[in-house]
């Protein structure tokens, strides 16, 4: 039972921080009933919990915060944000934060560095908002690179929906909603295999994007995620269960021998994926960006990964909208890297178009 064991390793909720109004929502009550032993602490806002968020004091508690703590809140301002790469819209979040600990993750950049899962319990309001939003768009009359027929809504920008689904039915409810939204489709990327999702019956209206990278690198930087081979192993099952299965090659990390390792990954995909999965496969390719503050935090708990992630001699600084110092591969150098990987994908995975590569 892969999924039960791996979920138990990831999540053992002992403490719940909650906004008091959470008890007014069915989803809030369900979650509280699911963890009757957990210590409850009421907070004014899911966003400002001094014990959890912020830079200081959380490094030693990093993993236990992610494994043992859950935050319950209410998503107050509901809006969908226009997007242009993986989706047409980013849906209002049903959660944020994550129980996994990928060294390069951008989610803690926004929220402070200890960022356990926060679940928003007003899922009915979120679903109603999305239903109205999609209905306002009308039919998608002009196909784009995102989807030929449907407006696509991203629901996993701030966490990992497969892990969230181990806590409650928010993701299940969203998938059920989009069965009925005639002009819309959901999408999220994942690094976690939760086989419960195989029973959600998405009827081809949810696109799941399995994030893949060479095994060797994943073992170093994808901390607490499902091993790459196990992710590839379930892709045919997800296609059979009615998901549209896509992949993300992300983040792509440069190191000596990187392309040889990508070739090994592609060989495994070629061996394991069946014709049905191959036929629907599209990939998105995203090269690494990293962040100076996160680098400094990582140096305290996982310095080995920083040897490959933090490479000032081949990276350049790019300030984010919020003023953070991010780094990415230097422009000309990066173009060569992108071209090399694109060429390899075209050669080794001829059935797999590239939605974008940057
Ligand atoms: S699975 Fe995604 S959200 Fe979670 S830590 Fe990794 S990159 Fe971040």
CB 89, CB 154: distance < 8 Å: yes
Query: What are the residues whose beta carbons fall under 8 Å from the beta carbon of 327, sequence distance 6 or more?
Result: 289, 290, 291, 292, 310, 312, 315, 316, 317, 318
Output the CA 189–ligand 1 centroid distance in Å. 9
User: Could you tell me if the CB of 164 is within 6 A of ligand 1?
Assistant: no
User: Could you tell me if the CB of 159 is within 6 A of ligand 1?
Assistant: yes
Name which of 77-81, 103-107, 194-198 the model is least confident about: 103-107
pLDDT tens-place string over residues 179-207: 999 999 999 999 999 999 999 999 999 99
Output the CA 225–ligand 1 centroid distance in Å. 8
pLDDT at 324: 79
Residue 191 CA to residue 210 CA, distance in Å, equals 6
Q: Is the pLDDT confidence value at 354 over 80? A: yes
Residue 141 CA to residue 151 CA, distance in Å, equals 10
Q: Is the pLDDT confidence value at 333 over 70? A: yes
Determine whether domain 2-357 maps to CATH 1.10.10.60. Answer: no
| Ligand 1 atom 7, closest CA | 105
Q: Reduce the secondary structure of 30-42 to three states and give it as a string.
A: HHHHHCCCCEEEE
Which residue do the tokens 């269960």 mark? 241
Domain residue spans of the chain: 2-357
| Mean pLDDT along residues 230-247 | 98
What DSSP element (H or E) covers 220? helix 215-221
Q: What atom of ligand 1 comes closest to residue 189's alpha carbon?
A: 2
| Mean pLDDT along residues 74-102 | 96
**Closest CA relative to residue 72, chosen from 138, 119, 106:** 119
| Mean pLDDT along residues 239-251 | 98
Output the CA 141–ligand 1 centroid distance in Å. 34
More confident residue, 296 or 55: 296
pLDDT at 52: 76
pLDDT at 253: 98
């Amino acid at each position: 039972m892969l999924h039960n064991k791996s979920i138990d390793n990831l999540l053992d909720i002992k403490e719940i921080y909650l906004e008091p109004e959470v008890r007014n929502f069915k989803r809030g009550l369900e979650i509280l009933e699911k963890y009757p032993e957990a210590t409850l602490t009421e907070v004014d806002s899911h966003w400002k919990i001094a014990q959890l968020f912020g830079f200081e004091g959380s490094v030693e508690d990093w993993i236990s915060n992610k494994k043992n703590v859950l935050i319950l809140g209410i998503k107050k301002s509901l809006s969908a944000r226009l997007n242009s790469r993986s989706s047409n819209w980013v849906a209002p979040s049903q959660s944020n934060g994550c129980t996994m600990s990928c060294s390069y993750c951008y989610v803690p950049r926004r929220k402070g560095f200890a960022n356990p899962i926060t679940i928003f319990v007003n899922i009915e309001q979120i679903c109603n908002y999305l239903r109205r939003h999609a209905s306002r768009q009308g039919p998608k009359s002009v196909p784009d690179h995102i989807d030929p027929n449907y407006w696509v809504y991203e629901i996993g920008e701030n966490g990992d929906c497969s892990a969230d689904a181990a806590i409650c039915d928010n993701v299940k409810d969203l998938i059920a909603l989009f069965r009925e939204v005639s002009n819309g489709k959901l999408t999220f990327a994942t690094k976690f295999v939760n086989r419960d999702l195989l029973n959600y019956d998405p009827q081809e209206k949810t696109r799941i994007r399995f994030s893949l990278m060479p095994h060797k690198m994943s073992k170093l930087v994808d901390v607490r995620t499902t091993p790459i081979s196990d992710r590839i192993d379930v892709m045919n099952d997800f296609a059979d269960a009615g998901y549209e299965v896509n992949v993300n090659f992300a983040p792509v990390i440069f190191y000596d021998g990187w392309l040889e390792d990508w070739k090994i990954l592609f060989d495994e995909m070629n061996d394991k994926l069946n014709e049905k999965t191959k036929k629907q496969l599209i990939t998105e390719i995203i090269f690494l960006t990293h962040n100076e503050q996160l680098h400094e935090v990582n140096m305290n708990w996982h310095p080995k990964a920083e040897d490959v992630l933090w490479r000032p001699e081949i990276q350049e600084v790019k300030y984010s909208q919020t003023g953070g110092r991010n780094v990415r591969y230097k422009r000309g150098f990066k173009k060569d890297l992108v071209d090399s990987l694109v060429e390899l994908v075209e050669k080794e995975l001829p059935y797999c178009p590239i939605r974008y590569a940057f």
